[in-house]
Chains A and B, each alone.
Chain A
Amino acid sequence: MVAKPSKGMVTDMAASPDHPLHGGCLCGAVRYELSAEPHDLYHCHCSICRKCQGALYPAYASVVRSGFVVTQGADRLSTFDSSAELHRHFCSSCGSHVYGEMEGDPDTISFSVGTLDDGADPGGRQGKERHIFWGSRMGWYEPSDGLPSVDEF
């Protein structure tokens, strides 16, 4: 079940773990610290995200840039520009896509939630978590997680 706030909890407060959280790529060359709570979280079904990461719908969280710091291995990151606006950074040693940046939104980092250590809850999900580019999902697989879905962002 998707976590829901328990009865009596202040509902406009995200049920998030304590920050900072830590994460990194599979091989450990690249490490980061997440010191702020994300303000957005989405599961993306577009063909570009699927093919960049080889998963059916990678999940991303967006956070203020100052809240996401690469603490190790910045020089090990390669960059793939999946469009003129979107720069995706992945570990050159193991291929993990760690985070991306959008032109025109210099204050935001969007990171791959699956790279958080120990499967940590990034926080900031309440009322915002959704499936995006739902119309591009693979026809043979569909989650039934109860989250809202939209056809664009």
Chain B
Amino acid sequence: MTEPITGGCQCGAVRYEITGPMKAVAHCHCSMCRKAHGALFVSFGAVDNSNFKLSGEENLGDYESSEGGHRRFCKSCGGQVIIHGEALGDETFVALGSLDAGQTPGHDPATETHIFWESKVDWYDPADGRKTVEGYGD
């Protein structure tokens, strides 16, 4: 993949570019992700910080939902864009709903997992055939 993967928040105040494919994709069902995004589950792609370039960071709010894990959202439109911080080390988790139309994570599909499946709402199942694990699965 030579062209960068692009995305950002809805209002465009925050934009990013990713060089290289994402390392893994996780669909998270934990209650924190559900509430932060107002969604039934939230999909993230893991990228190395060195491959992730952010513009408009001054427009991002910061909510530290667990120690060293900072959820960054656009202060203008509320778009959840990334999670990063000490707890994630050298990686950034990109909220995949923020990818531009037509963009794909470029990950190895074998890495794609539903995590915190035990926290899933009991009334909806995406039934997509991806593997499921409790917690992070390790």
Report the minimum CB–CB distance from A140 to chain B (whole Å). Answer: 5
Answer whether residue A22 sits at the interface, using C-beta atoms and an 8 A cutoff.
Answer: no
CB pair A142 B128 closer than 8 Å = yes
Count B interface residues, CB 8 Å: 50
Answer whether residue A92 sits at the interface, using C-beta atoms and an 8 A cutoff.
Answer: yes
CB pair B126 A26 closer than 8 Å = no
Binds A, one of B34-42, B47-55, B84-92: B34-42
1/0 contact string of A74-89 vs chain B (CB within 8 Å): 0000101010000010
Interface residues, chain A, with chain B CB atoms under 8 Å away: 1-3, 24-27, 43, 47-48, 50-59, 78, 80, 82, 88, 90-98, 112-115, 118-121, 125, 136, 138-146
Report the minimum CB–CB distance from B117 to chain A (whole Å). Answer: 12
1/0 contact string of B66-103 vs chain A (CB within 8 Å): 00000101111111110000000000000111110110
Closest residue to A119 on the B side, CB-wise?
B121
CB pair B96 A138 closer than 8 Å = yes
CB pair B126 A92 closer than 8 Å = no
For the complex, what is the distance from the CA of A57 to the CA of B120, rounded to whole Å? 15
Question: Which residues between 97 and 138 of chain B lie within 8 Å of chain A, taking CB atoms?
Answer: 97-99, 101-102, 104-105, 119-129
> Which residues of B are found within 8 Å of A25, using beta-carbon distances?
35-36
For the complex, what is the distance from the CA of A2 to the CA of B125, rounded to whole Å? 6
- Given contacts A55-B97, A94-B63, A94-B71, whether A1 and B42 have CB atoms under 8 Å apart is no
Q: Which of B10, B35, B71 contacts A52 (CB 8 A)?
A: B10
For the complex, what is the distance from the CA of A115 to the CA of B36, rounded to whole Å? 8
For the complex, what is the distance from the CA of A21 to the CA of B102, rounded to whole Å? 37
CB pair A82 B10 closer than 8 Å = yes
> Which residues of B are found within 8 Å of A93, using beta-carbon distances?
61, 63
- Give 5 CB contacts A-B under 8 Å: A52-B9, A54-B42, A112-B39, A118-B31, A119-B120
Q: Which of A48, A58, A140 contacts B37 (CB 8 A)?
A: A58
For the complex, what is the distance from the CA of A144 to the CA of B95, rounded to whole Å? 21
> Which residues of B are found within 8 Å of A78, using beta-carbon distances?
75, 78
For the complex, what is the distance from the CA of A58 to the CA of B71, rounded to whole Å? 18
Q: Which of A53, A92, A145, A146 contacts B39 (CB 8 A)?
A: A53
> Which residues of A are found within 8 Å of B77, using beta-carbon distances?
51-52, 80, 82, 88, 90
- Given contacts A1-B125, A88-B78, whether A114 and B39 have CB atoms under 8 Å apart is yes
- Given contacts A26-B65, A114-B39, whether A52 and B34 have CB atoms under 8 Å apart is no
